[in-house]
Amino acid sequence: MKKKILLTLAYDGTHYAGFQVQPDAPTVQAAVQDAIEQIYLCRPDVTGCSRTDAGVHARDYKLMFVTDDTMPKIPAERIPAALNTVLPRDIAVLFAEEVPMCFHVRHDVYEKEYEYIVWNSAVRDPFSADRAYLFRRPLDADALNAAGEAFVGTHGFRGFVAAGAVIAATVRTVRSVSVRREGKRVIFAIAADGFLYNMVRIFVGTMLAVAEGKIPAESLPDVIASRDRSRAGMTVPACGLYLNRVEFRRDAFDSDRKENTDCECR
């Protein structure tokens, strides 16, 4: 009998070329597959909830794979301990659960939230070098929090996609944006039904341009509506970006859900 297993991972992406397997480069997906192979004595396909880029981190990454009767039978509650014994130190399985075969880790996502950490100080922090972006000019988190409301809603985000990226559909619904300060860290959080390539990093770069006076806060709705990449801010480095939260739609775990175009049963 086949069983679908959903893993929750956390990882430091500093030393990886992103999540998805790539030739001649270490990736999170390959590391997890290596660990599964050691425990299950075979190498099943694994599917992740998102293609995080090189250097991007995750606190709540979701990944699924399927087991069958030819593989060792390991209770879900014991899978994290088993995999963590063979995973690299910068990747950890936080939780494992069996889910219905009709569940899909990408198609059933309702909302994702990313956080971007800026180390806001004239002096760099050696402990945050690969985990936050150093920005020396003062930041008013409250003013940026108010300005960020311009991004909330359903918009075409063509201007917030990496230059040269070929993406047919650029409409996304941003459900919340917040900016807060925790000591010298300024944390930008954005939650949406989906994200485009480099969208969050360009969003943060645009907000930093607002802080520097390069883009007036009141012009942000027009910048978004223009769908012009040249009017948005820079693409900030990957080091400060974290996949912070993934939520699934309400019926995602209903075992009696019928097959449809949104539910790939496999």
**Catalytic residue chosen out of the listed positions 12, 34, 53, 256:** 53
C-alpha–C-alpha distance, residues 7 and 246, integer Å: 12
Short-list 242, 216, 239, 18, CA closest to 135: 239
C-alpha–C-alpha distance, residues 154 and 245, integer Å: 20
Short-list 69, 1, 5, CA closest to 35: 5
Distances (CA, A) of 152 to 137, 172, 259: 26, 10, 33
- Is residue 53 among the annotated active site residues? yes
Locate the DSSP E strands across 126-166. Answer: 133-135, 153-156
The amino acid present at 179, given as its one-letter code, is V
Dihedral through CA 99, CA 12, CA 234, CA 228, nearest 10? Answer: -10
> Tokens for 160?
């917030």
Burial class (CB in 10 A: 0-12, 13-18, 19+), 88: middle
C-alpha–C-alpha distance, residues 48 and 150, integer Å: 30
Residues involved in catalysis = 53
